[in-house]
Structure 1
């Protein structure tokens, strides 16, 4: 890995967060900057916010950027909780141009994949073996799949069909808030979702991330599933850290 510091940007449906990252420790190096995601969240407007955050740190090195989208060879093929105009957009070229960077200096990847990279890299070493799934519970449900520590990119397990509905419309953290569900009620929905996922890929470990992981003690013990589920260690910083790692290693999809 080149150097000990990197830079990551995590683009979400409600906010865009960025910070310098200590790549040795796997943590933010200073206070992150967060700016509300523009409405509409078009490529040009989002890229403008990314440029503002990078400029706020005076950062001149490689930049990693996450998107809530399937990313293939730098192009967004889906758009979850961001403007649909992202679909078919060369995201890498868009950010590279907006930041005024040379080719290869910007890496774009799926947001859950970035969070997973960070958790696998900096989490408990014993949590890397076998089939491991990171699930991020937020506005939607993001997923990252690893086999013995190696990422299988662009899984979309949040969109599995559960009882005739898209999983994230039933079990995302936003659904808990919108419907005023208790942790017990929401955990029942999450359990049902995880059981469908278990029957599909038989994971050895599930890592639960997203903002709701800060209160893991209130709902993880309520889950009724066969797989061991642990809270993400990097919490909401995982996307930023993983993006910085990907940029430092040139690990785009």
Structure 2
């Protein structure tokens, strides 16, 4: 079965049909830049462009980089325009996509669901935390395979700042940090999260997971196992499609 998945990020909007039997993209993904400012209307237009690129006319699952309640309402907007807050995203995207059935889920939660089903978290019990390092830091927390939705652990305070302002992939670029310098910040963040949740496993996702060999070996002092996401930066697309299939 194929369902279309779209992953909305602070810098890019990417999507593709997903083969839910294999847990992988059925076609090469298409990406457009996230408009700046990332207003509801601008982002919805970007989503339309991605979906219409494939001529898709079926259900669409979408991720959003913030808290999503009731499968529709946006409650936070840290890395997109603040006008998203209290927007009914399901209604907005459904209208822009010509009435196609849509579902909306937190981006890290979607990535986590995909990794737990098809990737690095498969068959893992206990507490597992996926962290996506990109424009910000997203989080998905699982206890014995069950998702604790909308955790947003990237906004924990670290050294007097939001953690994602110090340890996201964007922060590494903005501050021109070496991999060693950034790894020290990531390590301090992981130690803080570990102190709070005592997970058995950290899964590191987001685009930077493709370069895990450059920084994961530099992280020390964390008791939990740390592994890169197996679906890498496609996890959000796959998870969005999975969520849409569940709600058909």
**TM-score scaled by length of structure 2:** 0.96
CA contact (8 A) 2:14 2:32 kept: yes
The structural deviation recorded for 1:184 is 1.3
Q: Does 1:33 align with 2:33?
A: no
Alignment correspondent of 2:50: 53
Alignment correspondent of 1:198: 194
Equivalences for 1:147-158 in 2 at 5 Å? 147-158=143-154
Alignment correspondent of 1:238: 235
Alignment correspondent of 1:11: 8
Equivalences for 1:211-230 in 2 at 5 Å? 211-224=207-220, 225-230=222-227
1-structure distance, mates of 2:156, 2:23:
31
CA contact (8 A) 1:8 1:242 kept: yes
CA contact (8 A) 1:6 1:23 kept: yes
- Distance 1:186-1:137 versus aligned 2 partners, 3 A rule: same
1-structure distance, mates of 2:164, 2:147:
22
Alignment correspondent of 1:131: 127
| Runs of 4+ that moved beyond 3 A | 124-127
CA deviation map 1:8-51 (0-9, x unaligned): 00111111001000101111111111011112211112111211
The structural deviation recorded for 1:176 is 1.2
CA contact (8 A) 1:127 1:205 kept: no
CA contact (8 A) 1:9 1:64 kept: yes
Q: Does 1:83 align with 2:78?
A: no
The structural deviation recorded for 1:126 is 5.3
- Distance 1:43-1:125 versus aligned 2 partners, 3 A rule: closer
- Distance 1:128-1:83 versus aligned 2 partners, 3 A rule: same
The structural deviation recorded for 1:124 is 4.3
CA contact (8 A) 1:7 1:244 kept: yes
Q: Does 1:161 align with 2:154?
A: no
Alignment correspondent of 1:180: 176
Matched position secondary structure for 2:62: strand
* Runs of 5+ consecutive residues of structure 2 not aligned to the other structure: none
The structural deviation recorded for 1:149 is 1.3
Matched position secondary structure for 1:239: helix
Q: Does 1:115 align with 2:111?
A: yes
The structural deviation recorded for 1:140 is 0.8
1-structure distance, mates of 2:182, 2:28:
32
* Runs of 5+ consecutive residues of structure 1 not aligned to the other structure: none
Alignment correspondent of 1:24: 21
CA contact (8 A) 1:205 1:228 kept: yes
